[in-house]
Amino acid sequence: MATTTITKTEKLVGKRIRRREDPRLITGTATYVDDIKMPGMLYAAILRSPHAAAKIRSIDVSKAKTLKGVHAVFTGEDTKNAGAVPCGASLPGLRVPHHNLLAIDRVYLVGHPVAVVVATDRYIARDGVELIEVDYETENAVADPEKALAPGAHAVHPQWSDNVAFTFHQEGGDTEKAFKEADVIVKQRIVSQRLIPNSMETRGVVADWHAADRNMNLYTSTQAPHLVRSLVAQILGLEENRFRVVAPEVGGGFGAKIQTYAEEILLAYISMKLQKPVKWIESRRENFLCTIHGRGHVDFYEIAAKRDGTITGIKLKIIQDLGAYFTILTPAIPTLSVLMMPGLYRTPNISADIVGAFTNCTPTDAYRGAGRPEATHGIERMVDMVAAELKMDPAEIRLKNFVRNEEFPFPTATGLVYDSGDYSAPLKKAMEMASYDKLRKEQVEARKQGKYMGIGLCAYGEICAFGPSPATPAGGWESATVKIEPSGQVTVLTGISPHGQGEETTFAQITGDELGVGIDDVLVLHGDTSLVPYGIGTFGSRSTAVGGTALYYALQELKAKIKKFGAMLLESEEVTLADGLCTDNKTGKSVGFKEIAAAAYRAMKLPPNTEPGLVSTHFWEPPNFTFPFGAHLVVTDVDGDTGAVSIRRYIAIDDCGNILNPLIVDGQVHGGVAQGIGQALWEQAVYDDDGQLVTGEFMDYTMPRAHMMPWIESGHTVTPTPVNPLGVKGVGEAGTIGASPAVVNSVVDALSPLGVRHLDMPLTPEKLWKLISAGRNA
């Protein structure tokens, strides 16, 4: 339940305050990209390849061109010099396929855009698409990364017959020694399957070119408006200062809207050619095929351990399914898995290899967790398997190997420095909430009755709040501008670009506390590159940790100036700013916030060396990432007759540092956990051998629905980060990272009497039923 009335003197940060964003959202009056309508606006529909691999012998657009209502049809020949879809990641030896906006002589995946029809309404545009005739010469496709790497596989890109985009190696410590001296070595192949992000709003673009001013206005459902602006302007050779990108209301992103997509460049190009505003809205089927996919790992783990449970070394080989092309971060995502491969454990010896494989599939890129769920899933599964091998309790082995509290800041074997942590606290809290020992006793009884009851743990750590700029492709700082209007109201301009995370509220909470104004006196604006000087965007759980810190520093600068004006008005030497008043420390006389604002703009008198006005801008460069952590504990019951998994209890103890708004943090945990459970039990992007996406719509791709979700018992420990003055680590992805290992560990535990030691996701009823039936008949 939220607080609805806040008295002026109460601190805002830390309170369960209902969101400032909500009034427009609950009344249906927000403007998403498909709600934008302009005079003369045309609609674009895209013809996409039905084949995963084919030569294009010919394209006949004549019937489409002459359909009444169609203004233009574009093919790859028309757009071949317009530019290419960008990739921002660079790795040594990376082979980058040229990613044309529209296919020219070949298609490389189902959904590959082949032509664009622009018409007066969306129905006619689709009619036009159906009138285009394409003569394809189909070829064999390869849709599985291991098959793509096998000798003799179809070459996705003819120039690289081995389908290898890159290899990557990283070492820390001495794994050879660790493995030589190990008492036990546990090996396992672990799959983190391809997933469809499926934000409820698909992508969409409205491009509006004004030739006389050389102005481009691009409205796009994006998480990174400034990055889109810089990239598309550069690609099309347009002036960046005359290029405006607006992220209108965005209906979810989860990482799949960080990228600069072909359609953003295409629509801008088309608007320039037709001198009219043009809209394209992605259908859900297109979204399944043409918006990036998540995960796509086949991982080979080896763990070296001592008999007492000490984990001494980790070897990891990742086969990363890249898809046919790259989008902005595609090849970089698995390197994040390597960075977090030791998890919360002190292990000094690691060795990792990545092979990036091309397949005739949709590109993979960042999806909630972006490399860290894969790493956490891997290490947490392995730790359970080592515990089973050593006949140790899974909680005991974790507690033994955690980085110790006195070891922070902790340099990891992968080159990171963990900021702060108390790794045993969430696990102990989760176990206490669950009455862990009682559960284990109950499990013994359940097994006697032939019931499959499981208790699964996951202790996760993660890297977020991207981040130090040298370690990021586009810079990792953030900006904030704080403007106090002459009337005393406050406007915050932030470079982050929220799409559900609630910063219009949390940033107003921070601002209200710092300036002593009410939360409703603060307006937080974002998403418009003409308003906000520059920003990197919202992803990687960075908005509060990095964006909020930029805001904090901008507020400190402004507070100093406000005090100068206050001191001038009070004719005082020393003043204190609190609760909307500037008070003379000696006399106790005070002047109000509004009076100060008026004085600063009216400028009848100015303090020495002080400009009129009350505006400050701060760009903040983070010195490090932050490292949230936590423990999830899941109790499952597997039905022996159907294989269905029932989650009896879900306990999530997450440490995201200081909490600005518990209501919003809970929401982030719940949503993240839902996506993690989704991966563990239901979701998978399945391609057949012809490269057809078999799970191509909600009919076949099982999304978490209300009755499928357990009640999440959410708790926290609070270990502030020293990386930023807010002490905030970030929480956007943590729930997802903690969930899938906890659920899978629980089900493996449930089925361990059958000899099961590992299962790959998703744990569908069919998969488990087959296992159980085989076990019962054995």
Partner 1 sequence: MTEIRPMTETINVNINGTAYSHDVEPRLLLIHYLREVVGLTGPHIGCETSLCGACTVELNGKAVKSCAVFAIQADGAKVLTIEGMAANGKLHKIQEAFWNEHGLQCGFCTPGMIMITKQILDRNPDPSEQEIRHGLDGNLCRCTGYQHIVNAVRAAAKAAGA
Cα–Cα nearest to 625, from 497, 525, 476: 476
In whole angstroms, how close is the CB of 665 to partner 1 at the nearest point? 10
Is residue 684 involved in binding partner 1 (CB under 8 A)? no
Residue in 430, 542, 570, 551 with CA at minimum distance from that of residue 479: 551
Counting contacts by CB under 8 A, is residue 685 touching partner 1? no
What tokens were used for 332?
């970089």
Q: Which residues contact 439 (CB under 8 A, 6 or more apart)?
A: 455, 635
Binding positions for partner 1, 42-71, rule CB under 8 A: 63, 66-68
Of 201 and 380, nearer to partner 1 (C-beta) is: 201
Residue 126 binds to partner 1 (criterion: CB under 8 A): no
Is 5 near partner 1 (CB under 8 A)? no
Q: Output DSSP code: residue 366.
A: -
- d(Cα 583, Cα 26) in Å, to the nearest integer? 41
Among 115, 596, 664, 685, binds partner 1 (CB under 8 A): 664
Nearer to partner 1, 285 or 594 (CB): 285
H/E stretch holding 372: helix 372-390
Residue 667 touching partner 1 (CB under 8 A): yes
Residue type, 200: M
Decide: is 26 part of the binding site for partner 1 (CB under 8 A): yes
8 A C-beta contact, residue 321 and residue 146: no
In sign, the C-alpha dihedral spanning 520, 522, 523, 524 is negative
Residues facing residue 411 across a β-bridge: 417
Distance CA 98, CA 79 (A): 14
Which residue type occupies 117?
V
Binding mask 537-576 vs partner 1 (x if CB under 8 A, - otherwise)? ----------------------------------------
Check residue 499 for interaction with partner 1 (CB under 8 A).
yes
Choose the stretch contacting partner 1; rule: CB under 8 A; options: 184-192, 479-487, 601-609, 670-678. 670-678
Question: What 8-state DSSP symbol labels residue 524?
Answer: E
Residue 20 CB, nearest distance to partner 1 (Å)?
10
User: Judged by CB under 8 A, does residue 117 bind partner 1?
Assistant: no
Of 11, 31, 404, 560, the one binding partner 1 (CB under 8 A) is 31
Among residues 98, 706, 755, 777, which is the contact residue for partner 1, using CB under 8 A?
A: 706
**Token duo for residue 665:** 């943090």
Q: Which residue has the tokens 């400032």?
A: 20
User: CB–CB of 547/478 below 8 Å?
Assistant: yes
Residue 263 sits in the site that holds partner 1 (CB under 8 A): no
When asked if residue 705 is in the footprint of partner 1 (CB under 8 A), the reply is: yes
Amino acid letter for position 177: K
CA distances from 584 to 570, 581, 591, 599, 604 (A): 7, 10, 9, 17, 21
Q: Distance between CA 418 and CA 628 in Å, rounded?
A: 9
3-class secondary-structure state, position 89: coil
Site residues for partner 1, 68-107, by CB under 8 A, read: 68
35 binds partner 1 (CB under 8 A): yes
Q: Which stretch binds partner 1 (CB under 8 A): 195-203, 227-235, 605-613, 764-772?
A: 195-203
Of the residues 22, 146, 171, 442, which one makes contact with partner 1 according to CB under 8 A? 22
Closest approach, Cβ 671 to partner 1, in A, equals 5
Decide if residue 14 touches partner 1 (CB under 8 A). Answer: no
Residue 237 beta carbon to partner 1: minimum distance, rounded to whole angstroms: 34
User: Is the peptide bond between 762 and the residue preceding it cis, with omega within 30 degrees of 0?
Assistant: yes
Regarding 18 and contact with partner 1 (CB under 8 A), the answer is yes
Instruction: Assess 666 for contact with partner 1 (CB under 8 A).
Output: yes
Report in angstroms how near the CB of residue 234 gets to partner 1 at its nearest.
29
Determine if 251 is a binding residue for partner 1 (CB under 8 A). Answer: yes
User: One symbol per residue from 286 to 315: x for binding partner 1 (CB under 8 A), - otherwise; what is it?
Assistant: ------------------------------
According to CB under 8 A, which one of 284, 404, 440, 776 is a site residue for partner 1?
284
Q: What is the dihedral of CA 358, 359, 364, 369, to 10 degrees?
A: -90
Distances (CA, A) of 646 to 632, 750, 772: 16, 11, 15
Q: Of the candidates 533, 527, 547, which has an alpha carbon nearest to the alpha carbon of residue 245?
A: 527
Q: Does 131 bind partner 1 (CB under 8 A)?
A: yes
CA distance to 67, 497, 554, per residue, from 193 (Å): 43, 28, 43
Give the nearer residue to partner 1 in terms of CB position, either 19 or 315: 19
Least distance from C-beta 482 to partner 1, angstroms? 25
The correct pick among 80, 99, 147, 285 for binding partner 1 (CB under 8 A) is 285
Beta bridge partners of 483: 491, 615
Interacting residues with partner 1 (CB under 8 A): 1-2, 4, 18-19, 21-32, 34-35, 63, 66-68, 121-124, 127, 131, 198-202, 249-252, 254, 281, 283-285, 499-502, 663-664, 666-667, 670-675, 697-699, 703-707, 709, 711-712, 735
